[in-house]
Structure 1
Amino acid sequence: MRRNNVRGPTSALTEYLKASGIRARHINRRGSNLNRGQNEQNGDGDAPDAGPSNSREAGDEAEDGEAGEEPSATRTNATRRRASGYNSDELDASEGDEEPEKTGNKRKGSKPAVAQQKAKEKEKAKAKKKVKKGDDEDEDGEEEDVYHALSKSLWSGSGSSKPPVGSFENCAKCEKQFTVTKYTMVANPGPGFLCHPCAKASGTDPFKKPAAPRKKRPTEKRAVVSFEERKFPTLASMCIDLITKHIDDVEALGDIGTLNAQAISKALSRNRKLTSEHATLFYHVSNTSLTFHDTTDLAPAALSTLARLNPNLTHLHLDYCGQLNNAAFDTFTDSLPHLTHLILLGPFLVHTENWQRFFSTHPSLECFQITQSPRFDLACIKALVRHCGASLTELRLKQVGKLDDACLNELAKLGEWQKLRMLDLSEPSASCSDEAMIELMGAIGRELRVLNLSKHNLLTDTFLEDGLGRHVSQLERLSLNHIPELTDDGVESFFTDWANPPLVEIDLSRNHELGSKALPSLLKHSGKMLEILNINSWKEVSEDALNEIAAYGRELRKLDVGWCRQVDNFVVKAWLDGNPDHEGWTGCPKLTELKIWGCNRITAACPRKKGLSIYGVESQEVII
Structure 2
Amino acid sequence: MAAEPTRKRKRNQEEAIAKIKKGKAAKKGAKKKKGSDDDSDFDDVMDMYKKIKPLPGQLENCEVCSKRFTVTPYSKAGPDGGLLCAKCGKEMAKEAKATVQSSKPAVRKGRRKIESNRLDGLTFRGAKSLQQLCINTLATHADDIEEFGDMPEPILNRLSEIFSKKRAMKSNTFKLFLQPDLDVVAIHEAAYLETEDYDQIFAVVPHVKRLSLRNCCQFKDSNVDYMIDKAKNLADIQLLGANLVSNDKWMDLFIARGHDLRSLKLEWLDAAFDDQAVEALTTFCPNLERLKLERCKQIGPDSIDAIARLEKLQHLTLCYQKNIPRDRVVNLIAHVGPGLRTLCLERFIDAENEDGLTDDLIDVIGITCTRLEKLRFSENNECSDAGYVNLFTEWPNPPLRYIDINSTRDIDNANPDGPEDPVGLASAGFHALMQHSGSKLEYLDISSCRHISHETFAHIFSAEQTWPCLREINLSFCPVVDTQVVAGIFRSCPQIKKVVTFGCFEVQEVVVPRDIVLIGAPRAQDAIEQFGQVVMDFQKEFSGMENPTGMSRIVPVMS
Same topology, TM > 0.5: yes
Q: Deviations over 1:437-463 (max 9, x none)?
A: 111111111110111111112296433
Distance in 2 of aligned mates of 1:601 and 1:260: 41
Q: Deviations over 1:442-490 (max 9, x none)?
A: 1111110111111112296433354212211111111111101122222
1:70 aligns with none
Note if contact 2:363-2:391 (Cα within 8 Å) is conserved in structure 1: no
1:618 aligns with 522
Q: Deviations over 1:181-231 (max 9, x none)?
A: xxxxxxxxxxxxxxxxxxxxxxxxxxxxxxxxxxxxxxxxxxxx9796532
Matched, 1:491 2:405: no
Q: Which has the higher relative contact order, 1 or 2, with Cα contacts under 8 A spaced 6 or more apart?
A: 1
Aligned-residue offset at 1:400: 1.4
Residue 436 of structure 1 aligns to a residue whose secondary structure is helix
Distance in 2 of aligned mates of 1:401 and 1:552: 44
Matched, 1:340 2:235: yes
Note if contact 1:464-1:494 (Cα within 8 Å) is conserved in structure 2: no
Note if contact 2:148-2:176 (Cα within 8 Å) is conserved in structure 1: no
Of 227, 230, 233, the match for 2:124: 230
1:169 aligns with none
Of 501, 511, 536, the match for 2:447: 536
Distance in 1 of aligned mates of 2:525 and 2:395: 46
Note if contact 1:569-1:607 (Cα within 8 Å) is conserved in structure 2: no
Of 301, 320, 323, the match for 1:431: 323
Cα distance change of structure 1 residues 600 and 252 upon mapping to structure 2, 3 Å threshold: closer
Cα distance change of structure 1 residues 547 and 554 upon mapping to structure 2, 3 Å threshold: farther
Note if contact 1:599-1:618 (Cα within 8 Å) is conserved in structure 2: no
Matched, 1:413 2:309: yes
Note if contact 2:218-2:244 (Cα within 8 Å) is conserved in structure 1: yes
2:349 aligns with 457
Cα distance change of structure 1 residues 466 and 254 upon mapping to structure 2, 3 Å threshold: closer
Read off the aligned partner of 2:495 and give its amino acid letter. K
Distance in 2 of aligned mates of 1:488 and 1:351: 43
Aligned-residue offset at 1:552: 5.0
Matched, 1:369 2:280: no
Read off the aligned partner of 2:124 and give its amino acid letter. R
Distance in 1 of aligned mates of 2:147 and 2:371: 51
Of 486, 491, 504, the match for 1:599: 504
Cα distance change of structure 1 residues 549 and 323 upon mapping to structure 2, 3 Å threshold: farther
Aligned-residue offset at 1:555: 1.1
Distance in 1 of aligned mates of 2:291 and 2:487: 41
Aligned-residue offset at 1:253: 6.2
Matched, 1:501 2:398: yes
Read off the aligned partner of 2:500 and give its amino acid letter. K
Cα distance change of structure 1 residues 543 and 429 upon mapping to structure 2, 3 Å threshold: same
1:570 aligns with 484
Cα distance change of structure 1 residues 621 and 301 upon mapping to structure 2, 3 Å threshold: closer
Cα distance change of structure 1 residues 516 and 238 upon mapping to structure 2, 3 Å threshold: same
Aligned-residue offset at 1:256: 4.2
Residue 269 of structure 2 aligns to a residue whose secondary structure is coil
Work out the number of aligned pairs and report it: 385
1:546 aligns with 457
Distance in 1 of aligned mates of 2:524 and 2:399: 40
Matched, 1:519 2:413: no
Cα distance change of structure 1 residues 253 and 290 upon mapping to structure 2, 3 Å threshold: closer
Q: Which runs of 5+ in 2 are unaligned?
A: 1-113, 410-422, 529-559
Spell out the pairing of 1:86-101 with structure 2 (5 A cutoff): none
CA RMSD of aligned residues (A): 2.3
Matched, 1:354 2:258: no
Aligned-residue offset at 1:252: 6.4
Aligned-residue offset at 1:618: 3.3
1:402 aligns with 298
Spell out the pairing of 1:67-86 with structure 2 (5 A cutoff): none
Distance in 2 of aligned mates of 1:506 and 1:493: 16
Aligned-residue offset at 1:293: 0.4
Note if contact 2:183-2:207 (Cα within 8 Å) is conserved in structure 1: yes
Larger Rg: 1
Distance in 2 of aligned mates of 1:279 and 1:259: 17
Aligned-residue offset at 1:497: 4.2
Q: TM-score, structure 2 length as denominator?
A: 0.66
2:224 aligns with 329
Cα distance change of structure 1 residues 311 and 553 upon mapping to structure 2, 3 Å threshold: same
Cα distance change of structure 1 residues 590 and 403 upon mapping to structure 2, 3 Å threshold: same
Residue 501 of structure 1 aligns to a residue whose secondary structure is coil
Residue 452 of structure 1 aligns to a residue whose secondary structure is strand
Matched, 1:609 2:525: no
Residue 425 of structure 1 aligns to a residue whose secondary structure is strand
Cα distance change of structure 1 residues 572 and 261 upon mapping to structure 2, 3 Å threshold: closer
